[in-house]
Amino acid sequence: MDEKKEVLILAIESSCDETAAAVVKNGREVLSNIISSQIDLHTLYGGVVPEIASRKHIEKINQVIEAALDEADTSLEDIDAIGVTYGPGLVGALLVGVAEAKALAYAAKKPLVGVHHIEGHIAANFIEHKELEPPFFSLVVSGGHTHLVRVKDYGKFDIIGRTRDDAAGEAFDKVARAIGLGYPGGPKIDKVSKEGNPDAITFPRAHVADHPYDFSFSGVKSAVLNYINGCQMKGESYCQADIAASFQKAVTDVLVANAMHAVEEYGVDKFAIAGGVASNSALRSAMQKACEEKGVKFYYPSPVYCTDNAAMIGVAAYYEYRNGTRHGWDLNAVPNLKLGER
């Protein structure tokens, strides 16, 4: 491939509840990033309803892609490759993006590049940090995943630690529901925590025996539920902000502790966080402080690139494209796709 040529990727993301398309130039420059969120729709049900998500993706996908091409002031003919999230995620939701990407790539005779959703989250860090290059470490914290990852090279990963039960974002969402904050829980807990005392209640910090990099968040979630039940049984009121802040501290303490353990053991000098929970203000400042203390350069994406978007998929697709990854017309949605699998 001619290194000097400009490479334009049209990227599509539909793995959960955002229908998104973006155009990314040379892997680092976002020319457009269109996101149609279904949050309002799913709020009615207190969480994502897969059937509704798929239907809404079908309704929105064409206009989102058109808007992405328009805003980037380009057209399908000028695109070099089409990148699409093909897993992990909700199968029906993923299928909409995959089918659309295949149809466009076939019709316009463009290469098709399937992208792992988590690879996209990690790649979000490349957009605003032009100097960031592998190798580095990453903590991916989203609604469905909590992974501590060694990024060896573009598209090459070792998963060092993972959650044994709930993902970090899932715990935020469940606790938010329990204390009456509703869906989506993460941003609401983040906001209300600013009014609360993080040391008011001591919730458990779970460590998985003999697996220092793994996580478990079901215990802290149960502890919050027990605390609320206890208050209700005694007829006592509880402070929503104190619970939120104390819960948030318990989760971020474990995330930071495991991340710093890896920093020491692996001699890490660059650390990047990614995924929806990476926009959490307490996690960002705790990681920033811990990294500074250890002399590690700390990276995080702007909130719009933390939660699901197609720009991050375009960045990951660019590096996959450059590495020679091409998918055929048999590309399928893989709801439990493993990181690093082809």
Binding of ligand KG4 by 115 (CB under 6 A): no
Structure-block tokens of residue 100: 């659309």
Q: Site for ligand KG4 (CB under 6 A): which residue of 87, 144, 155, 196?
A: 144
Kindly calculate the radius of gyration of the chain based on its CA atoms and give it in whole angstroms: 20
Binding of ligand KG4 by 86 (CB under 6 A): no
Binding of ligand KG4 by 246 (CB under 6 A): no
CA distances in angstroms from 1 to 80, 114, 130, 322, listed in the order given: 12, 19, 22, 8
Q: Site for ligand KG4 (CB under 6 A): which residue of 173, 214, 242, 320?
A: 173
Q: Site for ligand KG4 (CB under 6 A): which residue of 87, 120, 169, 314?
A: 169
Helix, coil or strand: residue 158? strand
Alpha helices in the chain (DSSP H): 39-43, 50-71, 91-108, 117-123, 125-128, 168-178, 185-193, 218-233, 240-266, 281-294, 303-306, 311-322
Q: Which stretch binds ligand KG4 (CB under 6 A): 76-84, 149-157, 265-273, 275-283?
A: 275-283
Instruction: Give whichever of 190 and 214 is closer to ligand KG4, judged by the CB atom.
Output: 190
Binding of ligand KG4 by 301 (CB under 6 A): no
Q: Which stretch binds ligand KG4 (CB under 6 A): 2-10, 25-33, 125-133, 183-191?
A: 183-191
Q: Which stretch binds Zn ion (CB under 5 A): 69-77, 233-241, 283-291, 303-311?
A: 303-311
114 Cβ partners below 8 Å, 6+ apart? 83, 84, 85, 86, 98, 325, 327, 331
Count residues near ligand KG4 (CB under 6 A): 19
Specify whether the CB–CB gap between 192 and 182 falls below 8 A.
no
Binding of Zn ion by 138 (CB under 5 A): no
Residue 293: is it exposed, middle or buried by C-beta count within 10 angstroms (0-12/13-18/19+)?
A: exposed
H or E stretch including 159?
strand 156-162
| Per-residue contact string for residues 307-326; x = within reach of Zn ion by CB under 5 A | -x------------------
What are the residues binding ligand KG4 (CB under 6 A)? 16, 142-144, 169, 172-173, 184-187, 190, 275-277, 279-280, 307-308
